[in-house]
């Protein structure tokens, strides 16, 4: 799918202008006279590393400057001076990743004007937003105030960073749209360790109303199939489809078994040709089963898919709890939407870690926000690559030619 740049869409110069405005608003904690490098140049220089997918921070840009008299940080993003690596890390360490979030909103607005967001709508004209946490840093030595820590059975302590990376997904599409992240990190006034669910709750408070207005269904693994979080989504006006495992939802599955005996679990069978073999999808579903063992438990709807080959071999099985009404006509679409949550792992987290973004590489840890800020810039680079991939034919040709050269 290609949507060319037009008067209602973003241009790359629009993006660069907004990048500069975003970095100009970075807080500058310097108090002395050593301000020869601006915060804008520090931010643009760091971002150029991730946009160009360089694993060596700024060495490549300096080599280009020395051999060719120019560099990408300047020609693409109008950075006037490139500070040293350590100077950039020192300048950016006090900057919270929240300072970059307006860029995600800016690009999202551009996607909306170009019609790309609507092109992601799936069953019942709904957007599908997947949530998942991924670890991007771990060490037994290096740590700071933003780290999560874990004491192992052998007495050793490890320190890590985890981030929730929300994305818009669509069944049968290899594209995702990255949204502003939410980091798992110690919270002021809380004695307990932070966790993925708490971070997702903060994301919900920050952006839930915006996506509720866009008619959005939230997807997630079994971790998210947790009554307080489900209720919080419904309160915000969002629907959900979450993986629902028997081991963690015993009461729900006891009700499903009882409904099965009473004939209240319905079945839909569909046979299809994969291009290589015939497979049979068997859908089972029922309504109004409790999510936990309590009189006031949230009632959800449940569905399951089992896929087998003609010789009876099991190919796939999974089950979901959802707030959406299920019937014979839409059970397959609801399951397809629920299964699309895997795209946050495959097309997002895996891409970030294995396809040139070096997401798990330690570009700089810092004492305050540096690690999470740099991770946010990597996510932003991926988002801008997605924008150009969807909206600029020339970029797509150059980008995939570069991938072929790498091979």
Sign of CA dihedral 211, 214, 215, 221: negative
pLDDT tens track for 85-108: 888 999 999 999 999 999 999 999
**CB atoms < 10 A from the CB of 65, how many?**
16
DSSP secondary structure letter of residue 81: -
- pLDDT for 64 equals 63
Query: What interhelical angle do 370-391 and 12-24 show, nearest 10?
Result: 160
Q: What is the three-class DSSP state of 127?
A: strand
pLDDT > 90 in the chain, percent? 64
DSSP string covering 164-206, please?
E--EEE-TT----EE---EEE---TT--SPP-HHHHHHHHHHH
pLDDT tens track for 96-142: 999 999 999 999 999 999 899 999 999 899 999 999 999 998 887 87
pLDDT > 70 in the chain, percent? 88
Lowest mean pLDDT among 55-69, 246-260, 311-325, 326-340: 55-69
- pLDDT for 163 equals 96
pLDDT at 242 over 80: yes
Report d(CA 198, CA 196) in Å as an integer.
Answer: 5
Query: What's the Cα-to-Cα distance from 21 to each of 38, 106, 113, 307, rounded to whole Å?
Result: 13, 11, 21, 51
pLDDT at 210 over 70: yes
Mean model confidence pLDDT for the chain: 89
- pLDDT for 326 equals 98
Q: What is the pTM of this model?
A: 0.90
Helices (H) and strands (E) in the chain, counts: 15, 13
Mean pLDDT (whole number) for 171-191: 85
Nearest partner of 251 among 296, 293, 201, judged by Cα:
293
pLDDT tens track for 342-385: 999 999 999 999 988 989 888 889 889 999 999 999 999 999 99
Lowest mean pLDDT among 43-57, 103-117, 351-365, 391-405: 391-405
pLDDT at 197 over 90: yes
pLDDT tens track for 249-270: 999 999 999 999 999 999 999 9
pLDDT confidence band for 81 (50 / 70 / 90): confident
Q: What is the three-class DSSP state of 323?
A: coil
Q: What is the three-class DSSP state of 159?
A: strand
Terminal-residue alpha carbon distance, the chain: 25
DSSP string covering 196-258, please?
HHHHHHHHHHHHHHHHHTT-EEEEE-GGG--HHHHHHHHHHT-EEEEE--GGG-HHHHHHHHH
């Amino acid at each position: 799918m290609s949507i060319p740049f037009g008067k209602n869409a973003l241009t790359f110069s629009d993006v660069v202008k907004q990048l500069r405005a975003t970095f100009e608003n970075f807080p500058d904690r310097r108090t002395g006279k050593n301000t020869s490098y601006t915060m804008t140049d520090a931010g643009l220089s760091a971002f150029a590393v991730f946009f160009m997918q360089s694993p060596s921070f700024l060495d490549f840009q300096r080599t280009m400057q020395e051999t060719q008299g120019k560099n990408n940080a300047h020609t693409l993003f109008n950075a006037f001076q490139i500070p040293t690596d350590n100077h950039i890390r020192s300048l950016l360490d006090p900057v919270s990743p929240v300072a970059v979030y307006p860029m995600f909103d800016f690009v999202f607005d551009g996607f909306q004007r170009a019609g790309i967001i609507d092109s992601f709508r799936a069953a019942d004209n709904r957007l599908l937003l997947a949530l998942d946490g991924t670890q991007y840093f771990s060490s037994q030595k290096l740590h700071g105030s933003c780290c999560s820590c874990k004491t192992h059975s052998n007495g050793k302590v490890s320190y890590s960073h985890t981030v929730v990376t929300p994305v818009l997904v669509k069944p049968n599409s290899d594209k995702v749209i990255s949204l502003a992240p939410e980091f798992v990190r110690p919270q002021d006034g809380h004695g307990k360790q932070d966790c993925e669910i708490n971070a997702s709750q903060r994301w919900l408070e920050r952006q839930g109303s915006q996506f509720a207005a866009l008619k959005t269904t939230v997807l997630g693994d079994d971790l998210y199939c947790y009554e307080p979080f489900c209720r919080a989504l419904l309160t915000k006006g969002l629907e959900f489809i979450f993986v629902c495992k028997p081991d963690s939802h015993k009461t729900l599955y006891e009700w499903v078994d009882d409904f099965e005996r009473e004939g209240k679990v319905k079945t839909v069978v569909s046979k299809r040709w994969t291009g290589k073999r015939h497979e049979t999808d068997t859908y089972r579903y029922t309504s109004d089963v409790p999510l936990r063992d309590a009189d006031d438990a949230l009632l959800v709807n449940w569905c399951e898919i089992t896929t087998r080959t003609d010789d009876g071999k099991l190919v796939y099985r999974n089950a979901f709890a959802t707030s959406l009404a299920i019937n014979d006509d839409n059970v397959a679409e609801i399951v397809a939407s629920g299964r699309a949550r895997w795209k946050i792992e495959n097309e997002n987290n895996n891409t970030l870690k294995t396809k040139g973004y070096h997401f798990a590489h330690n570009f700089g840890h810092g004492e305050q926000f540096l690690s999470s800020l740099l991770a946010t810039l990597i996510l932003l680079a991926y988002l801008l690559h997605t924008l150009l991939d969807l909206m600029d034919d020339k970029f797509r040709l150059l980008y995939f030619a570069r991938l072929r050269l790498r091979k």
